[in-house]
Structure 1
Amino acid sequence: MSATPNASSTAADDRDSYDPTSRRILRLSLSALVVLVAEPLYLMLDLAVVGRLGGLDLAALGVGVLVLSVVSTQLTFLSYGTTARSAQKFGKGDRAGAVAEGVQASWIALGVGAVIVAIVGVCAPWILSALTGGGEVASEATTWLRIAVWGVPLILLSMAGNGWMRGVQDTRRPIIYVVIGLGVSAVLCPVLVHGLLGAPALGLEGSAISNVVGQSIAGVLFAVRVWRENVQHPTAGGSRPQWSIIRMQLVLGRDLIVRSLSFQICFLSAAAVASRFGVAAVASHQLVLQLWNFVALLLDSFAIAAQALVGAALGAGAIPAAWRVTRRVTVWSLGVSIGLAAIFAAGSVVIPEIFTGDAEVLRAVGTPWWFFVAMLPIAGVVFALDGVLLGSADAAFLRNATLVSALVGFLPMIWCSLLFDWGLAGIWSGLILFMVLRLLTVVWRIRSEKWTTIANPAPDDAGVQGL
């Protein structure tokens, strides 16, 4: 593909650059899914390795990971926002501009990462004492977190790298980089924690060090790639920070952070209310919620494919192609979600027994289980259309739609469940209402066609766009 719009073959003329074939959609989705599930799989290994040290170390690791995961979750705009902006430039035939988005996102990653390292390094004891009530768990978790937080700038570099590479539809390298980084961590973790192969037994500190090493490798690989691409496809600003681009990325990031925070508040509130109904209730709630999180990763991979393809199509001015992406990705996501709903419905007795043998929990799990099954087809459509709107950089609308759905649907139902003793049925009714409201808002937005005209706002309009 030519790097300049004046070349004889532009992205708008090259149908294969954005045509939503099933093969292209599945390739992008599979690449995204591998990257999405790699970190949770490594975390399971880390927990298993540290768990052999004892309950204290396992609890400390769990709390430390929670703090890091909250931080990284709020900064996913470095991947999602960068994908949209990079894809739009790629669709225009401006690969240099797409790479420049990755360069500027990498500068944000380094700057924000340095601030987080400094803040967490100083405040870790107070943060962890607040979460645990102090004592040995807080002390051990502080030691782990103060080491592991040095990996945050590298984690953010990987997010930025994933973002622009998805935007230019490079599906192979992100998988390689992430697998290499986490693979090294997976080998180092048991070696450093338990002192295998002649290494010192560092215990919990070994877990933190292996995390940092693996994240550093992946982050450096992404950074080297964007630097090389920037050399091959130079822009006027080169590799220096370009504040006009950074400012627009931060506006998009602000909207995505607010949206992400609303999710966090809703699910934390649901867990708090579920815990008021007894041990069996909160255990069954968390069990089904973890299955929901797994399904969300799978469906999110279709949303990421929609982002990349819609962004490229709109960047090329090919609105009919963007509509084809919207329809085809929605059909795929809906089909997969219906298939999953059928599997979970058929396994309503067998699947929960894989996770627990507690009779009270198994009795309680039946209530949220069927809400979960009913919600899956709704989620299939919502996730796909979320991806479409993110691909058009319509993050401000998604922010507002999510906030309204949470404030009108989810949160009132959750707290009414506590007030009127509705139990888990009330909590999961709130979650379904939340999803239905999101479905109605995103479908309305798609049908309005406004998302096809707001991509690539002018720099002077960037601040207004996000309001």
Structure 2
Amino acid sequence: MARPHDREILRLAVPAFLALVAEPLFLLADAAIIGHLGTAQLAGLGIAAVILQTAIGLCVFLAYGTTASVARLLGAGNRRAALTQGMDGVWLAVAIGTLTTVAGVLLTDWLIGLFDPGETVAGYAATYLQISFLGTVPLLVMLAATGVLRGLQDTRTPLYVAVLGNVLNVLLNFALVYGVGPVPGLGIAGAAIGSVIAQVLSAAALLWVVGRAARTEHASLRPHLAGVRRAARAGVALVIRTLTLRAALLVTTYAVVSTGATGSPTTEVNLATHQLAMTLWTFLAFVLDAIAIAAQAITGRYLGAGDVTPTRAVTRRMLQWGIGSGVVTGVLLAGVAPFIGVLFTPDQAVRDLLVPVLLVAALAQPVAGIVFVLDGVLIGAGDGAYLAWGGLAVLVAYAPVALLTATSGGGLVVLWVVFGAVFMGARCVVLLLRAHSDRWMVTGAPAVRP
């Protein structure tokens, strides 16, 4: 059974892997380019990135939930209904993105003030964040359209768009940050502007592909209130699940700020180091998430077709792939830890602190492999309610330990040990307990308007 499952997993996971490697480079490019402007600018990016990633991350259900629902309908043999449901998801993305943009721009200063990073860092963070919020609608449309294509078992198109968008992003950021020819250097603002332009063009490309597929199947392109509401209801549990994950990351960043006096050089170094480490962690998380994306698409399709036995078999196989991938990424991260800091910052204090933090992150990679795969399986099965309750339990267990570590003078390295052992360890236990049961394997697909 393993061989055919391997082929199917690889067919979906390899393009998803390459696309997910490209997507975090939006932030990696900003970190590398902004890092050479100065430590304060990099620390400002760290604050802005956490806020922006939280706002966008809460809407990841637009990709994950859409993948699962479209895949179920595809497995049930109704491609037209699948695309109809997918278009309703895109319209939901437009509505949520518009509200998020308005709220984000108006609340930028207040959001940054929650971290109390000091006047200099706060100024850079506000500049980057206000501009970046203008790209919220295209970012969410990208999530929804990517979810539709993954549900249709197409992970190649998102790959092509991600690669081209990322290349454009790097070129625009470099030109707008430092200035090229008649183009003036705009500093940290230039990085945000370049990213927004690349996001708009990437969203337009994905939307064109999905719209063409919908027209081919004679699916409606117009928003349908009942369908948009259905997509929103399906995403509520995933929003709660994602909110708990983002809350844990926010708690971690707050704990980093608490490790030193406000505005002190130590706090700036800790924040800058944490930003680089979390950026690299996110990069590797997306790499591991490639198998989870395959899990979402395959699990949804199999359960939609009523095939329970293959669902269980492919879950076991994907779990093996997740552990193996985690070992590989852990070894690679440990290997580059002493050298990678020079790519992002000239600050020797940040480079020195980054090494032990990355070694801790490397040790947690195999556990992360298990977590991401099982998370994808349960999302593909539509088991959002369990993921929401499990996320709440993990947050309750992790937050007090992280805050206590910071206030007791544990330091950044110890804080990352807590992040890997308590946060990722607890998530692993919660997901393994569910995966060993049969409660998540619900078959069939819902009725969708013609």
Q: Say whether residues 1:26 and 2:14 are aligned partners.
A: no
Letter aligned with residue 268 of structure 1 = L
Q: Say whether residues 1:264 and 2:253 are aligned partners.
A: no
Letter aligned with residue 239 of structure 1 = L
Sequence identity percentage: 33
* 2:316 aligned counterpart, secondary structure: helix
Equivalent position of 1:88 in the other structure: 72
**By how many angstroms is 1:45 displaced?**
2.6
Return the index of the structure with the highest Cα Rg. Answer: 1
* 277-286 or 385-394, larger mean C-alpha shift: 277-286
* 1:295 aligned counterpart, secondary structure: helix
Q: Say whether residues 1:251 and 2:233 are aligned partners.
A: yes
> Which whole-Å deviations, capped at 9, do the CAs of 1:166-209 have from their partners, x for residues lacking one?
11111221112222223223222333344424335444444333
Structure 2 CA distance for aligned equivalents of residues 213 and 190 of structure 1: 13
Equivalent position of 1:107 in the other structure: 91
Q: Say whether residues 1:185 and 2:185 are aligned partners.
A: no
**By how many angstroms is 1:155 displaced?**
0.9
Gaps of 5+ in 2: 261-265
Gaps of 5+ in 1: 1-14, 460-467
> Which whole-Å deviations, capped at 9, do the CAs of 1:434-459 have from their partners, x for residues lacking one?
43433333223222211111664579
Structure 1 CA distance for aligned equivalents of residues 227 and 48 of structure 2: 34
Q: Say whether residues 1:321 and 2:305 are aligned partners.
A: no
**By how many angstroms is 1:421 displaced?**
6.5
Equivalent position of 1:222 in the other structure: 206
Structure 2 CA distance for aligned equivalents of residues 338 and 59 of structure 1: 30
**By how many angstroms is 1:136 displaced?**
5.9
Task: Quickly say closer, same or farther: Cα 1:198–1:133, change in 2 above 3 A.
Answer: same
**By how many angstroms is 1:389 displaced?**
0.6
Match of 2:371 among 373, 382, 392: 382
Structure 1 CA distance for aligned equivalents of residues 164 and 354 of structure 2: 41
**By how many angstroms is 1:418 displaced?**
5.4
Letter aligned with residue 290 of structure 2 = S
Contact 1:78 1:160 in 2 (8 A): yes
Structure 1 CA distance for aligned equivalents of residues 121 and 257 of structure 2: 22
Q: Say whether residues 1:402 and 2:391 are aligned partners.
A: yes
* 2:218 aligned counterpart, secondary structure: coil
- The 5 Å alignment of 1:29-108 reads 29-50=13-34, 61-108=45-92
Equivalent position of 1:464 in the other structure: none
Equivalent position of 1:170 in the other structure: 154
Match of 2:341 among 321, 330, 355: 355
Contact 1:378 1:439 in 2 (8 A): yes
**By how many angstroms is 1:104 displaced?**
0.8
Structure 2 CA distance for aligned equivalents of residues 362 and 50 of structure 1: 19
Letter aligned with residue 227 of structure 2 = I
Task: Quickly say closer, same or farther: Cα 1:202–1:243, change in 2 above 3 A.
Answer: same
**By how many angstroms is 1:313 displaced?**
0.8
> Which whole-Å deviations, capped at 9, do the CAs of 1:32-85 have from their partners, x for residues lacking one?
222223233233333444456566665555544443222111111111111111
Equivalent position of 1:294 in the other structure: 283
Equivalent position of 2:402 in the other structure: 414
Structure 1 CA distance for aligned equivalents of residues 63 and 270 of structure 2: 33
Structure 2 CA distance for aligned equivalents of residues 362 and 204 of structure 1: 25
Contact 2:398 2:423 in 1 (8 A): yes
TM-score, structure 2 as length reference: 0.83
* 2:24 aligned counterpart, secondary structure: helix
* 2:222 aligned counterpart, secondary structure: coil
Structure 2 CA distance for aligned equivalents of residues 403 and 23 of structure 1: 36
Equivalent position of 1:440 in the other structure: 429
Task: Quickly say closer, same or farther: Cα 1:447–1:105, change in 2 above 3 A.
Answer: same
Structure 2 CA distance for aligned equivalents of residues 160 and 76 of structure 1: 8
Equivalent position of 1:117 in the other structure: 101
**By how many angstroms is 1:392 displaced?**
0.7
Q: Say whether residues 1:152 and 2:136 are aligned partners.
A: yes
Structure 2 CA distance for aligned equivalents of residues 215 and 362 of structure 1: 34
Letter aligned with residue 367 of structure 2 = I
Structure 2 CA distance for aligned equivalents of residues 134 and 342 of structure 1: 37
Contact 2:115 2:254 in 1 (8 A): no
Aligned length, in residue pairs = 435
* 2:440 aligned counterpart, secondary structure: helix
> Which whole-Å deviations, capped at 9, do the CAs of 1:329-354 have from their partners, x for residues lacking one?
11111122234445567x4xx73454
